[in-house]
Amino acid sequence: MPFRDECGVFGISPQSEAARQTYLGLYALQHRGQEAAGICSREDGKLFLHKAQGHVADIFDQPTLDSLPGDTAIGHTRYSTTGGNVASAAHPFLIHGRFGQVALCHNGNLTNTEALRTELIKEGHTFTSPSDSEVILALINRAQSTNVDDAVVEALQRCEGAFSLLILTADAIMAARDPRGFRPLAMGELAGAVVFSSETCAFDLLGANYLRQVEPGELVIVRGTTARSRFPRPKVQPKPCSFEHVYFARPDSNVFDRTVMATRREMGRRLARRHPVEADLVVPVPDSGMSAALGYADASGIPFEFGMIRNHYVGRTFIEPKQSIRSFGVKVKLNPVRDLLEGKRVVLVDDSIVRGTTSKKIVEMVRAAGAKEVHLRISSPPTTHSCFYGIDTPSREQLIAFNRDVEAIRAFVNADTLGYLTLEDLQASVRDPDGGEGFCYACFTGEYPVIPESKEPVPKSSCAATTSGGMLRKEGPAGRCGPSSKGPDAAERPPDVVPPGWGGGRHPAASDSNRVEALGSSRLPCGVPPGAPSATRGDFGTGSSGVC
């Protein structure tokens, strides 16, 4: 029951019924944001937009989908981070500018929004919302370049922080991830169409094949039947969000080329080995604690039971910023099964503790249902720092682990025992490819890969320091911290490259030249004939259409 979700993006081209396919895609991504949603479609070079506050099912009906014609569409489901919960901040954003109509939707948070916004306002730009996503569109519109592809590259070179973007123009659909790859963005194919989604669960709903992730730092431009890949920035160490695997992503999704369910189950197994206890039942806090609880039961041999039931029909009505209301909201959402819990020693498994108030309430509920003992197990390390990369977290002072040790937290939530996953176990569970360097763990460590411009909280290491993790280094006159993402060789790199084989995980070498890949060609760039069986995850897949 941790942080609030973030945002989900989905796009498809070319596909008849593109808006309806996007609608279904957004349905699958509803868990990533429930405050607003929108779809922008394209027909004959003209863009059509519908967006509003609310759930996907509430916003779109037959007439609204009929008003979104064409064979290409992008969509977004939103939880407010930057920009607040205001109607004007709903995505996609659509502008009419130098490059005609351009629409954009965004998952993540820029960390240099205010500096960019101030600069753009001084240059005479006006904004219609507080959203950082609108800043990206403004950068595209005011770029020096004279064609939209180069303008997007130019804009992305100015953006710091987290972004997984979909951009729609009069004749192209583009997908981009920031150089760290904080937020996920998957690429698939469906009957000749290229499909992009925050998570692969949307592909499963539509019957699309997962091909690969859009690589950190990559910009994929699809125009007609041609796709090309560019890398606007020099390569840096990717830092995908480990919390996607802890909580945000759906367990049936493949995120960062890893199955979320398998990762969470491994977290639970490691939690059981790290914090064993004599008990009668393992009970998950639904839904987010489910997979880890199964893992805990696997490793401990203690029976798994659905000892708490979640009401899935509760909207966001009860998630209010008032403590009293929030406590009531827990009761509305969760109910313990007294017959299962009465007289039992219960291992209660949840994914994280944020403020501690919700966990306290849940422990109280389980005790009130007759549990003899409640042993709380958390499948992530203590959350000690806020996130600046697209996850809505409380200020650091509001995090219960900010200035309390485990015993103090245990006493606060009133559990008999409390055990957290260690950072090392989390790194092993997500199968960090770089020994603890290959993911972002900043909300557990304070080691921010990219330091935001001026917000709380102050990271535990100063900008001048190089931490043991090597993630914080002093950088340039702008005062930005983190490894240089815009090194001196940026301008020397060829601007237009496609990684050979589209295999993913490879940033182009300077010798790579422009490569343009034909969609639907007789042989895919990865050398696999169309219609061959799907490749292993992480390789560029196949599918019958030849999308690569």
Closest to ligand SF4 by CB, 228 vs 480, is: 480
With CB under 6 A as the contact rule, the residue among 443, 481, 497, 519 that binds ligand SF4 is 443
Strands 72-78 and 100-107: unpaired
Does residue 193 bind ligand SF4 (CB under 6 A)? no
Q: Which residue has the tokens 């004939």?
A: 529
Does residue 472 bind ligand SF4 (CB under 6 A)? no
Does residue 182 bind ligand SF4 (CB under 6 A)? yes
Binding mask 253-292 for ligand SF4 (x = CB under 6 A): ----------------------------------------
Closest to ligand SF4 by CB, 109 vs 141, is: 109
Active site residue 201: no
Stretch that binds ligand SF4, among 334-342, 420-428, 434-442, 502-510 (CB under 6 A): 434-442
Count of beta carbons in the 10 Å neighbourhood of residue 263 = 25
Q: Measure the N-to-C terminal CA separation of the chain; round to a whole number of Å.
A: 38
Q: Which amino acid is at 335?
A: N
| Longest Cα separation, the chain | 72
Cα-flanking dihedrals φ and ψ of residue 403, to 5°? -135, 25
Region of residue 211 (left: phi > 0; alpha: psi -120 to 50; beta: else):
alpha
Distance set, CA 282 to CA 182, 376, 425 (Å): 32, 10, 20
Closest to ligand SF4 by CB, 23 vs 389, is: 389
Q: Which residue has the tokens 């799907």?
A: 534
Stretch that binds ligand SF4, among 146-154, 238-246, 336-344, 533-541 (CB under 6 A): 238-246
Does residue 163 bind ligand SF4 (CB under 6 A)? no
Dist CA 466 CA 458 (whole Å): 15
Site for ligand SF4 in 379-408 (CB under 6 A): 387, 389, 391
Region of residue 512 (left: phi > 0; alpha: psi -120 to 50; beta: else):
beta
Q: Are 12 and 25 a contacting pair, CB within 8 Å? A: yes
Closest to ligand SF4 by CB, 431 vs 515, is: 431
Dist CA 410 CA 127 (whole Å): 47
Closest to ligand SF4 by CB, 231 vs 389, is: 389
Does residue 242 bind ligand SF4 (CB under 6 A)? yes
| Minimum distance of ligand SF4 from residue 440's CB (angstroms) | 3
Stretch that binds ligand SF4, among 25-33, 241-249, 361-369, 539-547 (CB under 6 A): 241-249
SS3 500: helix
Interface residues with ligand SF4 (CB under 6 A)?
A: 182, 241-243, 387, 389, 391, 440-443
Active site residues: 7
